[in-house]
Structure 1
């Protein structure tokens, strides 16, 4: 588990932290390029490349490059370890092939392997960064929890520095109520429970939305690299940071409220990456070189709405706080809770479910949440946390409780 907390470096410390991030990105990309060159058919090197051989070669490279030697060898070695872990995840089928890190990436940072902390008072503490010294950060968790960390990662995003301290996972919240709940996630209603409670994820206020769109129009007319362009980017980053903090706070409060109320939660095992994939182009067979409409613009809007609903973050944090069963999502919104009949015509609209077989009527999202709970209790009784759907084998890549609304 990571404890993310705000850092407050001085101007001199911030310049050195940017240097560490640039060095980590350079070493990571260089190591990735070297590994991509090595093949069994074309042995450009006498031995197989590993993190140990690359660390030895990094030492030789630091002797030749003064600007690289100015940084920390420990931070640069950790970047190579991150690359090695990325390859392990790829070969295990957990992620895609490692990609080069771009200097234009909105997020940049570096890892701190040997964690050293010291407390200033009940609100502030310091972390030791190699070749920089003690950097102050805000204590938003108990200091005893931060002391249990083994490593940390400093990240620069939207103009601010944060430190994420890796700690052992926390104990789940014991509710001891004996109650179970089914949860259906959606776009119109972010979270709908089997007891008729609807919870909506926060977004921009109308005023913030108008300001965000106005800043985007202003940014499009400004020259890239100018001072005005940089100031507009900073204002946009401030709005994005506000929205991100608002959504993170919503996820934490909602998942904690559910964990304190129910012993078991049933959720859909959704493949969000596949759901937000862009539609495939439709070539026009009659006119070679041209394409037919594929509703890409409408799909892009749906993808943004899905990602803004924070389904993945919500489910992950909920599973970390309580027992969660993931079920197969097929036909959960088309199945009648009363007679168990499955028919697409029963779903009259987004909000109305009217069974054409028995006449049962209910809110469509509530009916789906009840089906999710029934499927979890029927398929996996007494085995919380297990998946009722077998995980798919991923093929190797070929490319290098808040305010709620109750429905009676």
Structure 2
């Protein structure tokens, strides 16, 4: 995946949000149809062909849905159909509901995904259905891709993600082998003795985040103040996530170029970071300490590092 920062105008941002709402509505409607089905029923839930026909009927009877791009809405149905197939194949989890403010995005596939023009050394633009030409920053060369996804993160930043598989990095060919151990105090320790630390928020940023979280807990639900504080918290967390991703990319690239074989301890991160709250009947113990440990583990980018190495 190759990601670039979109710079839409206010009018384009409104159009993009409308497309996100349409894609989310279609996905959730398809999920509701699928969730109503249970084993033992004679009829099966509708698949993509039938749902696409139903979408055409829905667009004819609803002007707000017809105002959006049919390509985007049909692609949401295709994505859901693929998610169901992946679930039954055992390769992915069960499809879940998409929520406003969390799952903001849509995908464009086919000839429309190739409508990308370079404007300058640092700027390009893409023709998004029902939105128009939207500029994005060229932090690297734009790839030739058959599809892309438009996303909005919780920090309010728009991105375009092209679906391309990056070229593998060749090893040195010397047969060098290294072991990698992951931890909380030290993010990555190599068998060569090298210690690597994943960057996070600086001390001043961490103190500001704590103040914002306290302010957020006191703010009234639905108030403008609460929304502003929530956005400030999201921007700080996005800054930490960006630093973590950048560190993972640099470390994984450097290791792939230095060693032919990289051996990593097999850790089940999902099980390790489960909540310790327990239930009402069986409440957990040391919940606060376990929550802090979970945050420490997730802030080190363990899973992302192994994924990028692979």
What is the TM-score normalised by the length of structure 1?
Answer: 0.72
CA contact (8 A) 2:5 2:136 kept: yes
CA distance in 1: counterparts of 2:237 and 2:262, whole angstroms: 31
Structure-to-structure mapping, 1:7-406, within 5 angstroms: 7-39=6-38, 41-43=40-42, 48-105=45-102, 107-114=103-110, 115=113, 116-143=115-142, 146=143, 148-157=144-153, 158-279=155-276, 281=278, 290-291=281-282, 293-319=284-310
Listed as ranges, the gaps of 5+ residues in structure 1 are 283-288, 320-408
Looking at structure 2, the residues matched to 134 and 280 of structure 1 have their Cα atoms a distance apart, in angstroms, of 49
Over residues 353-383 of structure 1, what are the superposed CA-to-partner deviations in whole Å (9 max), with x where a residue is unaligned? Answer: xxxxxxxxxxxxxxxxxxxxxxxxxxxxxxx
- DSSP-derived class of the 2:104 partner: strand
Maintained 8 Å contact 1:113/1:151: yes
Q: Hey, what's the Cα distance between the residues in 2 that align with 1:155 and 1:314?
A: 23
Contact 1:152/1:166, CA 8 A, preserved across alignment: yes
Give yes or no for contact 2:124–2:135 (8 Å, CA) kept in 1. yes
CA shift in 2, pair 1:174/1:290, >3 Å: closer
Instruction: Classify the secondary structure of the residue corresponding to 1:149.
Output: coil
What TM-score comes out, normalization by structure 2 length?
Answer: 0.93
Segment drifting more, 298-307 vs 66-75: 298-307
Distance across 2 between alignment mates of 1:171 and 1:292: 47
Distance 2:126 2:80 in 1: 24
Residue segments in structure 2 that go unaligned for 5+ positions in a row: none
Structure 1 residues 188, 201: closer, same or farther in 2, change over 3 A? Answer: same
- How many equivalent residue pairs? 306
Cα distance in 1 between the residues matched to 2:251 and 2:243: 12
Contact between 1:117 and 1:127, CA under 8 Å: does it hold in 2?
A: yes
8 Å contact from structure 1 (residues 255, 314) kept in 2 = yes
2:277–2:284 contact (8 Å) kept in structure 1:
no
The SS at the match of 1:137 is strand
